[in-house]
Structure 1
Amino acid sequence: MTRSGRPPILDALREKRNVMTAVMLRDMRTRFFNHGLGFLIVSLWPLAHMLILIGVYTLFGRTAPFGDSLRIFFLTGLIPTLTFMYVSRFMCLSLALNRPMLAFPVVKVLDIMAARALLEITAAFLTLFFAFTLLLLLGDNPFPRDPFQAFYGYLALLLLAIGVGSIAGVITMFFSFFATLYGLSMILVYILSGTLFVASALPESLVYPLSFNPVLHAVEWMRVAYYEGYSDRVLDKEYLIGFGVTSLCLGLLMERMLRRIMLEG
C-alpha cells in the first residue's frame, strides 16, 4: 500500500490516466483556433468534402456508380478513406507536436501515442455520427444492410490507420520532412482507394495492383455491408486486418527500440 492508502497499481493507473488526459486536452486545443471546440472541425471536415463532391456531381448530372443514392455511395467511399487519411496523418504528427511534453519524466512516448490514438478514434466516431445525422436530415437511409459487417470494417480501418500512423509518427521524430511526404502520399490513397469508383467493375489488370492498397479493402468491406448484390471479388478482410495488426506491432516495436534516442533528442 502507498501513503495514499491505495494499492500501487491503482496509483500508477491514475497517473497514466492523468497524463493521457493532459495530452488529449493539449491536442484538442492546438488543432484549430487554440480552442477545444476546434476539435469538432476535424470531425466535420469529411462531411464538407462529401457535400462538395455531391454538389459537383449533381451540377454535372452524374449518377451514383452503384446503387440509387449518390450520397450513400459517397458515404461508403469517403468515410473510410478520409477517416484513414485524417487519423493516420494526425498520428504521424502526434509525437513531433508533443515533443516538448517529453521533457516531463512522467510523460512517456507511448503515452502520447496512446492518447492520440484514443482521440482519433473518438473523432472518427463523431464523424460517423455527424454523417448519419446529415443524411437522415437529407432524407436518406444511412443505415447499412449488414450493420455488424459495417462496424467490423470500420474497426479494421481504424486499426490500420493507427498502426500506419504509429510507424509514420516514429519516423517523423527523426526526419521531420517525412510528415510532408506522408501528407502528399494521401493524395494517392484518395485516388486509389475506390472512393469514387467501383473497384470490382474494373478489369483484372487494374484490380490486381490496386488490391495491394489496404484502404481499398476497407471501402469494399463497407460497400458489401451496404449494398445487396455488391461483388466481393476484390475484398480481402484477412489482408486488411493483417496489414493493420502488422503495422501496429511494427510501430510499437520501433517505439520500444528507439525510445531512448527520442527522449534524448
Structure 2
Amino acid sequence: MTAVVLRDIRTRFFNHGLGFFVTSLWPLVHMLVLLAIYNFTGRRAPYGESLNVFFATGLVPTLLFSYVSRYMAVSVVNNRQMMSFPIVRLLDIVFARAYLEAIGGILTLVFMIGVLLVLGDDPWPSDVQSAVSAYLAALFLGLGAGVLVASLAVISPFFTIAWIIICLVLYIGSGTLFVVSKLPEQVAYALSWNPVLHCVEWMRTAYYPTYSDKVLDKAYVLWTGLGFLFCGLGFERVARRRLMDG
C-alpha cells in the first residue's frame, strides 16, 4: 500500500509531490467562496456571533465526508491499470487514497482555523472532545461510503458519477445552510435520514451549548458508516472476481 500512497502523492497534481499540499487547499477554497457569498448576502449567524464559524461548523464535516468518499471512488478509476498486478489489491488503492484524504482533511482544517483567526473569529469549540468526535464520525462515514462506492465503481464507473450527484443532494440536505430544528417537524424528520446531517448537528452542539440536539442521533452516523463499510467489503469480493475474470 505504501507504493500506492507514494504514487498517488506524485500523480495528484502536475506530477509533483507538492501537489498533495496544493490539492488540500481545494476544500478550503470551496469553504472560503461559500463564506464570502454568505457574508455578502448580509445573513446573520443563527447561533454565536460569527457567521463564518457557524457555516464552517457545517462545511467542515460535510466537505470532509464528500471529498473522502468521492476521491476514494475516483482513485479506483484512475488506478485501474495498477490492479492488473497481482500484488496490488483493490483495497490497497482504496485505503491508500483514504489515508491521503484523511491527512488532506486535517491540513484543510488547520488552514481553516488559521483563516478564521486571521479574520478575527474564535474557531475553538465549547466542547473540544465532542467536536473531535464529530470530525472523526464524518471521516468514518466518508471512509465507509468510499469503500462501498469504490467497489461499485470497479463493476461500473457510472457509480462514481452517480455518487457525485448523491453527494450534492446530501450536501443540500445536510443542514449546513440552515438550522434543522427550526424547520417543520415533518421536514426535519425527512432530512434526518441523511447521515451527514447528524455529523453537522454533532459538530454544532460542540460549538454552541444552547444548540438543539433533538434531531441528532450519533449512533445512526456510526451504524450507517459501519453498514457502508461492510457492504463495500462485500462488493469488493464481487469486484475482485470481476477483475480476475477480465
> TM-score interval w.r.t. the shorter chain?
over 0.9
Letter of the 2:162 partner, please give it.
Answer: L
Q: What does residue 52 of structure 1 align with?
A: 33
Q: What does residue 111 of structure 1 align with?
A: 92
Moved more, 223-232 or 63-72: 63-72
SS at match of 1:107: coil
Q: What does residue 120 of structure 1 align with?
A: 101
SS at match of 2:24: helix
Letter of the 1:203 partner, please give it.
Answer: P
After TM superposition, give the deviation of residue 164 of structure 1 in Å: 0.8
Q: What does residue 17 of structure 2 align with?
A: 36
Q: Answer yes or no: is 1:147 the counterpart of 2:97.
A: no
Q: Check conservation: 2:154, 2:239, Cα contact below 8 A.
A: no
Q: What does residue 229 of structure 2 align with?
A: 248
- 1:229-258 deviation per Cα after TM superposition (whole angstroms, max 9, x unaligned): 000001000000100111111111221343
After TM superposition, give the deviation of residue 47 of structure 1 in Å: 1.8
Q: Check conservation: 1:66, 1:198, Cα contact below 8 A.
A: no
> TM-score, normalising length from structure 1?
0.88
Moved more, 165-174 or 47-56: 47-56
- 1:179-226 deviation per Cα after TM superposition (whole angstroms, max 9, x unaligned): 112112222111100111111111101001100000000000000001
Q: Check conservation: 2:134, 2:202, Cα contact below 8 A.
A: yes
Q: Check conservation: 2:143, 2:229, Cα contact below 8 A.
A: yes
> TM-score, normalising length from structure 2?
0.95
Q: What does residue 15 of structure 1 align with?
A: none
Partners in 2 of 1:126 and 1:92 — Cα distance?
A: 21
> CA-atom RMSD, angstroms?
1.4
Residue correspondences, number = 246
Aligned equivalent of 2:44, options 60, 63, 67 = 63
Q: Answer yes or no: is 1:199 the counterpart of 2:184.
A: no
Aligned equivalent of 2:162, options 169, 178, 181 = 181
After TM superposition, give the deviation of residue 88 of structure 1 in Å: 0.5
Gaps of 5+ in 2: none
Partners in 1 of 2:132 and 2:119 — Cα distance?
A: 23
Partners in 1 of 2:29 and 2:88 — Cα distance?
A: 36
Gaps of 5+ in 1: 1-19
Within a 5 Å distance, the mapping from 1:200-239 to structure 2 comes to 200-239=181-220
Moved more, 131-140 or 156-165: 131-140
| Inter-CA distance 150–186: structure 2 relative to 1 (3 Å threshold) | same
Q: Answer yes or no: is 1:99 the counterpart of 2:80.
A: yes
Letter of the 1:167 partner, please give it.
Answer: L
Q: What does residue 157 of structure 1 align with?
A: 138
